[in-house]
A and B are shown apart, each in its own frame.
Chain A
Amino acid sequence: MANRSPQPYQPRINNSSSSSSYSSHSDSTQSKIPKASNQIYSNKTSSSSSKTGEFSCRIENSYYEDGDQEPPNLIGTCPFMCPLEERQRRERLRDLAVFERLHGNHAKTSPALAVKKFCRTISSKDMKASDVRPVPVLEDTLNYLLDLLHSSDHPFDVVHDFIFDRTRSIRQDLSMQNVVSDQVIHMYERMVKFHIISYHHLHRSSQTPNTASMSHLNLEQLMKALTTLFSLYEVNRASHSASQNEAEFFSLYLLLHLSPDNQVEPLSLWFRRIPSPVMESRAMSFTRRILRYYRLGNYKRFISTTEEEASYLQYCIVEPYISEVRKLALSCISYGGYKLQPYPVEHLSKILMMKESDVEALSVDCALETSDVGTGKGLVSSKQAVINKTSKEYKKYYELDSSRIRRFVFPVNISASTYIKLNAMAAASGKCLAK
């Protein structure tokens, strides 16, 4: 695999507030969202608020003296990926991630390598502008981090952990500064994409307690970032037309909630909030069909439609459901199939889009029998067949036998961030990249 060293980070030097690239009050192309709720600042986490992404409004021109007047919006001035103070502190404490170490030295870093860590307990009053990175710096930081995604020197876990934490810090800096702009929206979109790619990777990797907890945390942050993104879309909608990518991100949310177990807010209610241009989009049309097939148990169309139409990101989320749907298919066929004629594995491999040997392996995983039927193997029917849902093998995923999907899953010799940038939301037909 390519051993690209990440592009060195060049800090932005001119950080005077007169620079036009900074968000400023007078910049008419950007709007401010009302101050974010104090979720991030206080130690308390009210899960209901963060899930619906609600913001509280500053009370202006009020007759009443409200003790809880929010401080004015912060504008960051830190020109580096990591504030100077923190960098020096962490050098002293030898608290440097492997990517931040200069020549592997546990106690030395540089402005090109150090990235601000996420800090759980920060109150907005204690925050200094010099500790907060302004939007252009945050964007450069994000570019740097996403480039790292393809750095293969280190195992995926390690890379994921680092980017997970540092992008969380980026989101923290962004929300403190309270800006809504196309640039910020695009940053959130890219961070959501990172979480989705991680989601996919983590689901495929062996299920240790460690990956299980990484998976859970990743999903949690994915949802938070996605919820914030939706709020940004909504604020932006008032002043601009809808973002082009909005439809895909709504579809991703829906795909994450196909199963009733995953739903905090009932889907039926969530549907009411979808803006009509999004509803009419191709991404949503695909996703609603997938939802219907899932709910009805139409395993054939669920799999074939996914194979035909899912975009890369949509596929990342749907993949775990494919295993589930295949098992449903085997259950149904085993339950209702003619006892004297085992169902041909060859045909199963066609409708479930998997290699024949994988069909056999999956049957074994599900404690179902196959037998020889002259022309090949067949799935034996048994109304008593009980599929053991708790076995470890049960979670194994078998590749979707499709050249289109294979191109998604094994991108060759390109940096992930380029991949991410290029794999734009436009075609749900799953345009893949040329080498």
Chain B
Amino acid sequence: MAAYISMGEAHRRITEYLTRFSDAISSQDGKSLSRLLSVSSDSPALLSLADALNTFQDASRVIRQSERFSQYGDILLHLFRALQSYRLENLVESYMAFEKASNAIVQEFRNWETAWALEALYVIAYEIRILAERADMELASKGKTPEKLKGAGSFLMKVFGVLAGKGPKRVGALYVTCQLFKIYFKLGTVHLCRSVIRSIETARIFDFEEFPVRDKVTYMYYTGRLEVYNENFLAADHKLSYALTHCCTKKEANIRMILKYLVPVKLSIGILPKASLLEKFNLNEYKDVVLALKRGDLRLLRHALEEHEDRFLRSGVYLVLEKLELQVYQRLVKKIYIIQKERDLNRAHQIKLDVIVKALRWLDIDMDVDEVECIMAILIYKNLMKGYFAHKSKVVVVSKQDPFPKLNGKPVNA
């Protein structure tokens, strides 16, 4: 907790902060201003200020002493409260105060003509989210319903609105959007992403290329994930690949996050990653899935899904991976076909359903001939297999030309 400091020292620290604050604004120094706002950063400067505030207790008097400070009274009072509460570990109070301070800053921001304060605005957006998350944790621990993060989302939507206009400030909109995405994903209210995505992508205010690369990568990552959840694999591939290619190669953790979603997407369109890629980025949960697809090993796929079920469910790719079964069936039948070709080229294209039943039994999978016929019918219908099946003779006859069409970057027909 706070070490003992004298009233004089406390007064000095407060005045020093106030001076820095007003100087930053008057000299339009965005970087300095942003440093003064990062409540959750645990920077020594802000921590010592918080101690001073908790000691001095009447900072408003100091603010009123000089016109230079009192003109920002609205902002400063709430900001001080936020810092004090944060130091005393009252996260709910801290969030609420910070939101009020941020609101006051955003009002000023609207009047500042250039975009000099964007960096400070970024810090505000970030802090709003972080403090809200921690406030919600505090609420939950006390058995109350967490709702600060939801409020943070509403607040950031307002900030987005402020930035969505002509002028240089609009390049900040994508950063705020990404903070919103993080909030909505955490809350599970991803349908709220729709309106902000629409503003970014279709409203004529923004030119996507103008935004900073870092923000574009984050944006494409989140929108790519949404496409994965909605099973729009081509769009997901496009967005996540964009994120991957534009992501700084040194940021391996970020690359891993992107790949975690891109790999299932690629698998769904028939593109298999190299084992070395999976190893390099520690994505071993996909190893057996890829192997199952290569081998046509249905048992291995089901086993892999079971083994990593929690992880796949949490990231939301479980259903995508489950659907790969059809491609595994395709591969299995293809292998039988290849083996048959080696024995008797002329009759290889006729595959008895009983042989498939047997092959599945070797994999400990119990399927009767009716179900196998059903699967064959589906494979043909979805163009994973070319040919026909004869019910009476219990045989599937594959076409002599390209009997197992590759997906080649297209998802399986719906």
Contacting residues, chain A, for B377 (C-beta < 8 A): 329, 332-333, 335-337
Chain B stretch 133-175: residues in CB contact (< 8 A) with chain A? 139, 143-147, 150
Q: Encode contact with A along B369-406: 1 for CB under 8 Å, 0 otherwise.
A: 01100111110111000011111100001000000000
Cα distance A435–B117 when bound, in Å?
Answer: 76
Question: Once the chains bind, are B375 and A56 in contact (CB under 8 Å)?
Answer: no
Contact pick for A296, options B147, B191, B325, B392, CB 8 Å: B325
Closest chain A residue, CB of each to CB of B314: A272
Cα distance A87–B81 when bound, in Å?
Answer: 54
Closest chain A residue, CB of each to CB of B320: A268
Closest chain A residue, CB of each to CB of B96: A64
Q: Does B119 contact A (CB under 8 A)?
A: no
Contacting residues, chain A, for B146 (C-beta < 8 A): 57
Q: How far is the CB of A379 from chain B (nearest CB, A)?
A: 10
Contact pick for A341, options B192, B314, B390, CB 8 Å: B390
Contacting residues, chain A, for B370 (C-beta < 8 A): 300, 351
Q: How far is the CB of B142 from chain A (nearest CB, A)?
A: 10
Chain B stretch 188-244: residues in CB contact (< 8 A) with chain A? 188-192, 226, 228-231
Question: Once the chains bind, are B319 and A34 in contact (CB under 8 Å)?
Answer: no
Question: Once the chains bind, are B318 and A271 in contact (CB under 8 Å)?
Answer: yes
Question: Once the chains bind, are B388 and A337 in contact (CB under 8 Å)?
Answer: yes
Contacting residues, chain A, for B191 (C-beta < 8 A): 48, 264-265
Question: Once the chains bind, are B188 and A295 in contact (CB under 8 Å)?
Answer: no
Cα distance A273–B316 when bound, in Å?
Answer: 11
Question: Once the chains bind, are B374 and A351 in contact (CB under 8 Å)?
Answer: yes
Closest chain A residue, CB of each to CB of B379: A336
Question: Once the chains bind, are B316 and A271 in contact (CB under 8 Å)?
Answer: yes
Q: Does B308 contact A (CB under 8 A)?
A: no
Q: A34-B145, A273-B188, A298-B375 are in contact. Are A266 and B229 (CB under 8 A)?
A: yes
Closest chain A residue, CB of each to CB of B140: A238
Cα distance A351–B375 when bound, in Å?
Answer: 13
Q: A238-B143, A338-B388, A338-B390 are in contact. Are A269 and B190 (CB under 8 A)?
A: yes
Total of A-B residue pairs, C-beta within 8 Å: 124
Query: Size band of the B side of the interface?
Result: 35 or more
Most buried by A among B317, B322, B370, B381: B381
Q: How far is the CB of A258 from chain B (nearest CB, A)?
A: 11
Contact pick for A62, options B96, B226, B318, CB 8 Å: B96
Q: Does B326 contact A (CB under 8 A)?
A: yes
Q: A57-B145, A57-B147, A63-B93 are in contact. Are A268 and B229 (CB under 8 A)?
A: yes
Q: Encode contact with B along A296-337: 1 for CB under 8 Å, 0 otherwise.
A: 111111000000000000000000000000000101110111
Question: Once the chains bind, are A297 and B382 in contact (CB under 8 Å)?
Answer: yes
Cα distance A272–B317 when bound, in Å?
Answer: 11
Contacting residues, chain B, for A351 (C-beta < 8 A): 370, 374
Q: How far is the CB of A215 from chain B (nearest CB, A)?
A: 23
Cα distance A34–B392 when bound, in Å?
Answer: 65
Contact pick for A260, options B81, B150, B231, B382, CB 8 Å: B231
Q: A299-B374, A335-B380, A336-B388 are in contact. Are A266 and B190 (CB under 8 A)?
A: yes
Cα distance A367–B195 when bound, in Å?
Answer: 42
Q: Encode contact with A along B348-384: 1 for CB under 8 Å, 0 otherwise.
A: 0000000000000000000000110011111011100
Closest chain A residue, CB of each to CB of B322: A292
Q: Does A54 contact B (CB under 8 A)?
A: yes
Cα distance A266–B145 when bound, in Å?
Answer: 24
Q: Does B253 contact A (CB under 8 A)?
A: no
Q: How far is the CB of A214 from chain B (nearest CB, A)?
A: 26
Cα distance A288–B244 when bound, in Å?
Answer: 33
Q: Does A55 contact B (CB under 8 A)?
A: yes
Chain B residues within CB distance 8 Å of chain A:
81, 93, 96-97, 100, 139, 143-147, 150, 188-192, 226, 228-231, 313-314, 316-320, 322-323, 325-326, 370-371, 374-378, 380-382, 387-392, 397
Top 8 nearest A-B pairs by Cβ distance?
Answer: A336-B380, A266-B229, A268-B316, A332-B377, A338-B390, A300-B374, A332-B381, A297-B378
Given contacts A63-B81, A266-B229, A332-B374, 16 further A-B contacts (CB under 8 A): A55-B147, A57-B144, A238-B143, A264-B191, A268-B316, A268-B317, A271-B319, A296-B323, A298-B374, A300-B374, A301-B374, A335-B377, A336-B381, A338-B392, A347-B391, A381-B388
